[in-house]
Amino acid sequence: MIGFVLGTGEGREILAYINKYTDEIVVSTATQYGYEIYKDFKAKYFNYKPLNEEQFEELVKEFGIKVFVDASHPYASEVSKTVINVCGKMNIDYIRYERKSYFTELNNNENIIFIDKYEELDKVLESIEGNVLNTTGSNNALKIESLNIKNRIIHRVLPSPKVIGKLLENGVSIDNIIAIKGPFGIDINNGIIKEYKIKALITKDSGEEGGMKEKIESSLLNDIKVIVIKRPKFNYGKEFSDIKEMLEFIISNYNL
């Protein structure tokens, strides 16, 4: 049995490929939304709630999982830590799918600034006048707000009543919320940047998937600063950034 921890759009591609060979799989995702994305695929068991180490261990025991494939989001570091620990304790294999960085060839662009953590934003923004667009999600919006940055921060978030309500309850002005679901093309990105007079954009290095290419190209086209929160650093061990290569390895090594 193979366990999959999925939290990216590539999860559908992974499951579609694996289902050609087997449905002897367990799929874990942290949200009901994730389950809705993957529910039409074949699996012996679907989990759609966050799990701790003990709960992952129970999955391994109950379903006889021999390998976990971790395709969680590049910034879901706690999930990866948990799965790595469980695989070590249970003496089963761990495989990581990690999206390629979009910024590999853009490291020397003067408009792209890399920082290790959100707490460095206030220092970076001291020298930038004007409005800032946060595209790192609602969970990080309140972290950014707590820094009391002098700039006006506009948060682009999912159009979910729960998400918007949480921001409003914590003092974020409705004027500083753009609720829209991506990914977006160049035109929408350009429109938001121009309409809100954006001078800097905050993003994660989430890979080209999900509209990253268009977002960064639009930022550079409009000559605004791009502030990138670096990915957490991990030694994953067996790691792939090519889905097909990873799946071929799994098929040839786990008797599918």
Dump the DSSP string for 3-57.
EEEE-STHHHHHHHHHTTT---EEEE-SSHHHHHHHTTS--SEEE-S---HHHHH
Q: What is the pLDDT of residue 210?
A: 66
For helices 212-221 and 186-195, angle between their N-to-C axes, nearest 10 degrees? 50
Per-residue pLDDT at 249 exceeds 80: yes
Look over the chain and give the mean of its residue pLDDT values, rounded to a whole number.
Answer: 92
Q: How many CB atoms lie within 10 A of CB 206?
A: 23
**Stretch(es) of the chain classified as CATH 3.40.50.720:** 2-100+233-253, 112-229
55 or 207: which leads in pLDDT:
55
- CATH architecture, domain defined by 2-100+233-253: 3-Layer(aba) Sandwich (3.40)
Q: Tell me how far apart the alpha carbons of residues 251 and 248 are, in angstroms, rounded to a whole number.
A: 5
165-193 pLDDT tens trace: 999 999 999 999 999 988 888 999 999 99
How much of the chain exceeds pLDDT 90, in percent? 77
Angle at 224 between CA 124 and CA 216, to 5 degrees: 105
Q: What is the pLDDT of residue 206?
A: 82
- Residue 105 in tokens: 């060839």
* Per-residue pLDDT band at 55 (split at 50, 70, 90): very high
Contact 80, 234 (CB under 8 A): yes
124 or 103: which leads in pLDDT:
124
In CATH, what number does 112-229 get?
Answer: 3.40.50.720
Average pLDDT over residues 145-155: 96
Per-residue pLDDT at 46 exceeds 90: yes
Q: What is the pLDDT of residue 100?
A: 86
* Per-residue pLDDT band at 91 (split at 50, 70, 90): very high
- Residue 4 in tokens: 């999959």
pTM above 0.75, yes or no: yes
Average pLDDT over residues 114-133: 95
Average pLDDT over residues 137-147: 93
Q: How long is the chain? A: 256
Average pLDDT over residues 127-143: 94
Average pLDDT over residues 119-139: 95
227 or 181: which leads in pLDDT:
227
